[in-house]
Structure 1
């Protein structure tokens, strides 16, 4: 059912309740008008106005003083209306009787500000009671008391109460109050014995008055004494019951959230406990007041947030108070709700139900107690909500955390069966976090999270740890081209980012998996996507699709990482050295340092295996520092026999882009006592691809130390010679793959010739790697290559052999 249809239905039922109440009032008036116009018994010459006033007072007193009847665990309040009703039938004309009967509920409705429908229905019930009883009495001879009169009186009272109760239950149901067949049956079963009891008391009173008018005074005194004794008894019993109800309420009260159905149920239970027509819970929420209201004739409902002070102006300034204390309605009481020493809300009770008395200090103390318990429950609810949010949400980005992301991915798999999942890591995060501070690092992650949500609004996006995110969509939303999904993420997320006053660049590494091809569980898919993501770091960020080969070699990779970390901490990593020789003249121009590692259990682990793992596991920094320290120490040693022969060390792209690397190199040079011009750092082309502007800045800082820079394995990546213009580079090293094909492949010869010509035009030296045969050396000389390196002149050798090799070749000083 739509909201509009539901509202229309509510309006129709409310209109029907008004109609039934009006018909009941009209029926009572017509029945009263059809009865005899004169009173059956004489009142001893008393004027009608005096009798009207007397019975109005009697009705008001009967309405004020109620009798509480306990039925099992429920307590029902019954007014004493039947007594003045029976007496009025005998001593008042029906018209005057109707006026006296309606005056009391009308005055109470005006004083307590009853809702219009409630006021109308109470008047209608009073009119029908008078009309039904007067019509019944008019059917018999009422001049003398006797069985016929008593039977008619009893029947009239019973019909009036039964019809009134049935109509009350119908109106309650129409306006949405909970009415069940069981509760309706209990109410009707209670009406019959209560009405018969009061009918019997009325007959006794009428019999006594008909025999001797003076007994009316005795009856009034007796009734007053019995009423006083009963009220005293009920007060004691009521206090005990209120204490028990308060204990039960507090015992059942758990943590509350204002938006949960439990909050409405708790507020309704509090309203019943306080005997209030309306209970308003106002809480400070988002700079305004958010209200939850429970009313006698409506289910609890939450209203929209109101501006501060909209309906709770005074309670926030003081403690609990009755309405009269701050100039308001007498039948109102308020108490502030505190969170520590701060105002958290206000609880307001309006219109005490029952026999007409107003709220008093006892009610206020109960409200204060209930309010304190409610404030504690709401505070516990907020704490529980925060804990639940923390358990499932990343505090920084507001995205689902690893646990919640895994749960959502499993749900996505159950719903769609097929899914594409991308694991994303922010490559530039470490640099920003280390150089610009944690605050800007957090801002970078927030920016990436925002871009991921914008790139895939329908996707499940979560932060699974550190600078790592997961993005998943049903396969139907991506198509079968999962690689394109990864490329789309990179294209829409990567780019420049302004973090406060600082500009930086977002760089990603993306790994992709597909379900069910790569796994049927979220945990497995996440792990495999991250494995592909780490591999993507070595191919420009990917995306890389996971393959089973990753799983097969996974255990060895883990063993290599653990052993490498241990080898670096104990200095177990070795360095081999391979000389570089001038293409003409065979002069030694330098020595390249090559990391070598032999593990007792793993055997010989080549650089092609452990270097990528060092980059993925964060060990590249310690590895580079170890190789630099050993290489500079070896260079210092061979200066005695070959002064001016420097050393070349390979460094990764992430290492060069690290802002702290320049300072580290300067420190290592000073520690080794080696001149900076003797050190050459060899960079791969990837450093130029990742962030050309930052690379140029870092390379300039390194050159300012006095060392040299070379581009290693040139031609194997996606760069071009145009990258070299304006960069502080001293030499270019041609990859071994082009040298191998010089004798047979005209294409390789053309590439080498082009590299040499353009490099020389830019003032750069050219080194050819992998020179193994004399024919290659001749060809390289012809093409104009400056230096060569390879097995033709020397294989890599340990540091202890370098000095003796250099002595044999009588290396002259290189200027």
Structure 2
């Protein structure tokens, strides 16, 4: 049951089940709502399946077949034959195809007892004829091999299609030794074959011979003895092994060398360079904007894009260079000895230029770039791990500076060491409660009524002083610390609101929430628990979620946010205008407001398009019944323009600077006095 459930949860199948077929079909381990598989004649009574023909996706039906496969296939409608994936047990059945080898092995082991029971004499409908004898398929490796069943005299009782093709016709009733003449001399009795493996000559009906590997064993079925043989073409086996080796060393999607082959060639390069006193280069490549395209247009488009990128990168390199795909949108390049600084940077520049022109997928012109990090042997490391680590540091510098490529240097190493130190210190700061929460006011665009506050976290580092969020939030995001950090901020906000409430102040607070929390289905429950423990009001709390986070997993995010909204907590979409969200998606999100990205506000008087974009966002949001908040307002001129465009609320340094919680009542009093003076 558990393994079926794991297969189904992976998202590849509409339905996954394991079953035994004996006198009827006994469903053992369903892991999803059943679909119509065309098994109406043999599905257990009372377990009728609703029709679901035409639904996309694969169905994995793992069957244990103590009957001949043909007896099952008679019941399958043509659509099922295209979608059902069949595997068989240790007791019988022909292996049709395997896409989940681990599930096959689990069935063969964990269900052996159940299978034996299903195939017991009590379950049999009558004596079996020789043509009904099963052909045993032990695992996925037998695909492409021939299978034979024979009696104690060596007479062939059954043969699968592959065996018939290998032998040149139907061998039923003929002697096994007719086709294996050399074994007739060395092993003249059937008992001398059982339990052995031979490489010998197989004689085709046309009198041609070819080399095969023949494996023999006995299958003791109730009431009958039968021998089993597996015939493997030596030439086909060599081809299969070569293909397996190729698959083991190459990326299945792009056909490029994978991490294993790259590592092997890199270690060879280290040995050659050390022996000859030469240098070489390792480069790491990360595609810019690929994740955005992949999340927006789907993984199928992303895969085709990766397939199109590979040849472009290869053309930018020499034949002696190795381009590998490490996973996702990350690639690596090995420039073997002898490569110096100039040659390495020239290659890096060619790689960046190779992706300047857009790539067309399904009529769409997609633009993306690449960031390249370069590390040289032996200046930047004498072992592969060090070289890869330093190339990674250089690559992130190139990505951060949008410079295309960067060569590792000691300054970057110092920066990397600083990040590790900050990561360690941040963990301690969260545990000790050393993070400070400041509150920045948010006011009505018309009238400047105080509408709420946004919680902004700061870190008073014992050595580096007061750190801005840009100094430590990326570290928190990449290390998993962002989740306990968010809880710390939430607790401080709820405590501040409780202290204000004692002074008669009810003021909503908005808190930024990471994408990691939105992926956690337990988040709404945790949030509700925090509110109850702090005696907080859900209607005085708003969560600001980044638009980009919604695009990563729209369906999962919507489910989480709907449960948050049921608590009475408000939700705003932050940094709107940068995440490519669609109008239908916005209509499904349980949000109350949009926060226009500060980039557009900052360009309000520099780019005419910024004003047009803001006006369009306001018109669309109001049409959906949403409020519009402009953040990053730093001048009266900007405040007036945004109010004129139709923004509902304003936030920024012009409105008010971030302040400690204990300063909020004083600030509110000052604002009330100023409004009274203006009146």
TM-score, with length taken from structure 2: 0.48
Question: Larger Rg: 1 or 2?
Answer: 1
Which one has the bigger helix percentage?
1
TM-score (norm: length of structure 1): 0.41
